[in-house]
Amino acid sequence: MSNKSIKRIDKQAFDVDAWHKLQNFTQARIGLGRAGGSLPTNAQLKFNQDHAKARDAVHAHIDFDAINTALKQQNLSSIHLHSKAKDRTEFLQRPDFGRQLNNNSKEALLHSASSHKKGMDVAIALVDGLSSVAIQKYGCELVQQLIFEFNKLAYTSSSIMLVKQGRVAIGDEIGEIINAKSMVLIIGERPGLSAHDSLGVYYTYNPKLGLNDASRNCISNIRPQGMSIHDATEKIIWLVNQSFNKKLSGVKLKDTTETTENNRSQHSISGNFLLPK
Amino acid sequence: MAFKQILANQHFVFEDLKTLLAKATPLRSGDCLAGIAATSMIERAAAQQALAELPLSHFLNELVVPYESDEVSRLIIDSHNKESFTPIAHLTVGDFRNYLLSYSVTNKEIALISEGLTPEMVSAVSKIMRIQDLILVANKCVNITKFRNTLGLPGHLATRLQPNHPFDDAAGIAASILDGLLYGSGDAVIGINPATDNYQSIGKLVHMLDDIISHYAIPTQACVLTHVTTQIEAINNQLPIDIVFQSIAGTQKANESFGVSLSILDEAYSAVNSLNRGTLGNNNMYFETGQGSALSANAHHDVDQQTCEARAYAVARRYKPLLVNSVVGFIGPEYLYDGKQINRAGLEDHFCGKLLGLPMGMDICYTNHAEADQDDMDMLLTQLGAAGVNFIMGIPGSDDIMLNYQTTSFHDALFVRQVMNKKPAPEFEHWLIKHKIFNSQGELSDQSHLGPFADISHLLR
């Protein structure tokens, strides 16, 4: 057989669609190109990498000792707590366990509360939730800024509750036990492909067992590419002040502050460019 | 009524029908969370044996949710067609499985009995079926619907183009729509999940989609998936609504948690019918469902999540919808833990919907806290392709940047069409070929080809 019949194939640019510049308009994965009709190698690997980040964020072990040390350097004390979910597998399958303290944590908290019977204006909790990575990266900074602002306003605050395998509603039990007037619960949000390290904050006035989500205000997508820690702090302070005036939180306390959208794409064309003007 | 079964020298007693159904259900985390799942493999096997021996007629006498307190139960019983049921009235659940698998049973025979089937009968038979049974029988069912094109024909697979954007930015949405259309997606519907339920911004999106479909003369329909009451308001204000969307569930209480009831859905159906915007047909409702929704609203009445899901299809079929899909992996691992559970649930939902006469599609999807990945989705996608699913989702690169979950991409639809020789809806395919997006073999043109968007090429380059 003659070698002349064997030709080198041309390397094609599979990952260029003519409209790839539209990527400036959206973070959606458009203009990815294709090999045949299938995803080209680059897009496929990029997807896998983003999924890996999100999966690792869910399953990463949170190092609350490191957070405890960092808080100590700011003269902030903390209390380690654990939900009824014994590990990640149980946490993922039993959301009800993630909403309750385990017995040891409950006792420890009751003990602590017995020496601070007067309670406090604001309780603060850092909860791993579905992204330990978010809490590990940005949790301390948000707490520090909050405490700074609370001190200026002369609001009393709790030790920082460091909660493992926790979900949002665990704040109700914590707040009730320590007799907190309000609860700022900072939690790792469910990771998406584009963001695996977002913090969410759930604010509840007069936290008590048995409340539902209608009693909370939520601030979400807190991360450098989303809402900044500075803006989140401002919103939380606004919520605390408003709720203390109105003695409530949740759907009846509408957030009227301006939203900054740092991630809004800056592009020259706006609106539906598919139609002639 | 209690059901007794002896298996492996053990006596099992299942105290009523809903218990029997729950214990017979293949393992899934939601039923464990609800505390109603079988506690051993042998208990599940015994329940499946007892269920197989149960006459289908029993399902008309014992309801899983009381008739008096639940309007979905009343709908199921009151709309049951006794004449359609006659040919199978003497069969047990096990006989019924054999019947469905028989060579002699085709779409024609299934269509004749469909109105005689209740969701609970269909759910029951699915519990004693393997994945290949769910595929084989669903593949026999042909449920065709029409609005501006024809969906559900054998040998065809449609897609919902889902151009979601985190703050409903028109340019961002337009970019995803262009991408999708140039990849041959959008024949089932161009359907946006809006980030806000603000009426003004919903109105803008409704007009935007209508303008695009009209301007490019695309043989498809649009939908903005907001609450049904908002869509009724839009229709009353003469907005160009093609089809009305709503999430539904299988119990009255679960539907109440969505803010809907049969009377609200009736009102929406009558409103959208008054617009009469379909050109080929007037199937004009779109429903999404999903196992676990009743439990998450604490409205499951101790009924297993798959039976609750099948009951949602009784609600759907009242309105002769254009599209129905389960959003199978969206709800999270506390209901469907991993790829294996999502996969089976997706095939069950598709099978049950098809047998009940619905134009079933599927949102083949997962979240990042579920034990699932793209390989799992490929398995479900391929199996649903084999089962003859009417439509799947199409989203840029599988990544929904608004809802933060992963579903099937434009590329995924091309894959199924290629390996299974499936075509888009015929009218839409004609449009794709006319604009040289597809060639006559269904292959995409050169990557520099802008099809109908050549006029705006200066914006794109």
Residue A277: the pLDDT is 72
Tell me the CATH number at B383.
3.20.20.70
A41 close contact with B: CB closer than 8 A: no
Structure tokens given for B458 = 């200066």
Q: Does residue A19 lie within any of the structural domains? A: no
> What part of A 166-195 touches B (C-beta under 8 Å)?
190-194
Residue A74: the pLDDT is 93
> What part of A 107-136 touches B (C-beta under 8 Å)?
130
∠ CA B367-B373-B376, nearest 5°, is 115
Contact A25 B172 (CB under 8 A): yes
Mean pLDDT of chain A, nearest integer: 90
Q: How far is A86 from chain B (nearest CA, A)?
A: 15
Tell me the CATH number at A133.
3.40.50.11240
Buried-exposed string B370-389: b where 16+ CB fall within 10 A, e elsewhere: bbbbbebbbbbbebbbbbbb
Mean pLDDT of B395-413: 96
Residues of B in contact with A18 (CB under 8 A): 447-450, 457, 460-461
Chain A interface mutation, best of B179, B366, B423, highest count of A Cβ atoms under 10 Å: B179
> At residue B95, does pLDDT exceed 70?
yes
Residue A257: the pLDDT is 58
Q: How far is A248 from chain B (nearest CA, A)?
A: 23
> At residue A266, does pLDDT exceed 70?
no
A214 close contact with B: CB closer than 8 A: no
Mean pLDDT of A124-140: 97
Mean pLDDT of B89-98: 98
Q: Does residue A7 lie within any of the structural domains? A: no
Contact A48 B178 (CB under 8 A): no
Give the residue from chain A lying closest to B207, CA to CA: A272
Mean pLDDT of B371-397: 98
Q: Does residue A111 lie within any of the structural domains? A: yes
Residue A265: the pLDDT is 44
Residue A268: the pLDDT is 54
Residues of B in contact with A220 (CB under 8 A): none
Mean pLDDT of B15-37: 98
A19 close contact with B: CB closer than 8 A: yes
Residue A251: the pLDDT is 77
Q: What is the ipTM of this complex?
A: 0.95
CB A94 within 8 A of CB A155: no
Between A47, A55, A276, which is nearest B397 by CB? Answer: A47
Q: Does residue B123 lie within any of the structural domains? A: no
Q: Does residue B318 lie within any of the structural domains? A: yes
The residue type found at A80 is: H
Contact B368 A58 (CB under 8 A): yes
A260 close contact with B: CB closer than 8 A: no
Give the residue from chain B lying closest to A51, CA to CA: B368
What confidence category does residue A2 fall into, taking pLDDT thresholds of 50, 70 and 90? Answer: low
Q: Does residue B83 lie within any of the structural domains? A: no
Q: How far is A85 from chain B (nearest CA, A)?
A: 13
Provide the domain limits for residue B208: 145-434
Mean pLDDT of chain B, nearest integer: 97
Residue A261: the pLDDT is 44
Give the residue from chain A lying closest to B210, CA to CA: A275
Q: How far is B413 from chain A (nearest CA, A)?
A: 9
Mean pLDDT of B409-437: 98
Mean pLDDT of B368-395: 98
CB pairs under 8 A between A and B: 176
Total structural domains within chain B = 1
pLDDT digits (tens, 9 = 90+) for B263-283: 999 999 999 999 999 999 999
What percentage of chain B has pLDDT greater than the value 70?
100
Q: Does residue A206 lie within any of the structural domains? A: yes
Q: Does residue B312 lie within any of the structural domains? A: yes
pLDDT digits (tens, 9 = 90+) for B182-239: 999 999 999 999 988 889 989 999 999 999 999 999 999 999 999 999 999 999 999 9
pLDDT digits (tens, 9 = 90+) for B39-71: 999 999 999 999 999 999 999 999 999 999 999
Mean pLDDT of A137-163: 97
Residue A93: the pLDDT is 92
Give the residue from chain A lying closest to B211, CA to CA: A275
> At residue A252, does pLDDT exceed 70?
yes
Q: Does residue A214 lie within any of the structural domains? A: yes
Total structural domains within chain A = 1
Chain B interface mutation, best of A12, A14, A17, A26, highest count of B Cβ atoms under 10 Å: A26
Instruction: Choose the weakest-confidence range: A61-65, A254-258, B316-320.
Output: A254-258
A257 close contact with B: CB closer than 8 A: no
> At residue B165, does pLDDT exceed 80?
yes
What confidence category does residue A5 fall into, taking pLDDT thresholds of 50, 70 and 90? Answer: confident
Residue B42: the pLDDT is 97
Longest dimension (CA), chain A: 93
Give the residue from chain A lying closest to B373, CA to CA: A51
Mean pLDDT of B112-132: 98
- Which of these, A26, A274, A13, lies nearest to B460 by C-alpha position? A274
Residue A102: the pLDDT is 98
Give the residue from chain B lying closest to A18, CA to CA: B448
Mean pLDDT of A108-124: 91
Contact B450 A19 (CB under 8 A): yes
Q: Does residue B135 lie within any of the structural domains? A: no
pLDDT digits (tens, 9 = 90+) for B235-265: 999 999 999 999 999 999 999 999 999 999 9
Mean pLDDT of A97-108: 96
> At residue A19, does pLDDT exceed 60?
yes
Contact A274 B397 (CB under 8 A): no
What are the φ/ψ torsions at residue A249 (nearest 5 degrees)? -145, 175
Chain A interface mutation, best of B404, B453, B457, highest count of A Cβ atoms under 10 Å: B404
Q: How far is A193 from chain B (nearest CA, A)?
A: 7
CB B253 within 8 A of CB B297: yes
Give the residue from chain A lying closest to B334, CA to CA: A93
Q: Does residue B414 lie within any of the structural domains? A: yes
Give the residue from chain B lying closest to A191, CA to CA: B368
Q: How far is A185 from chain B (nearest CA, A)?
A: 21
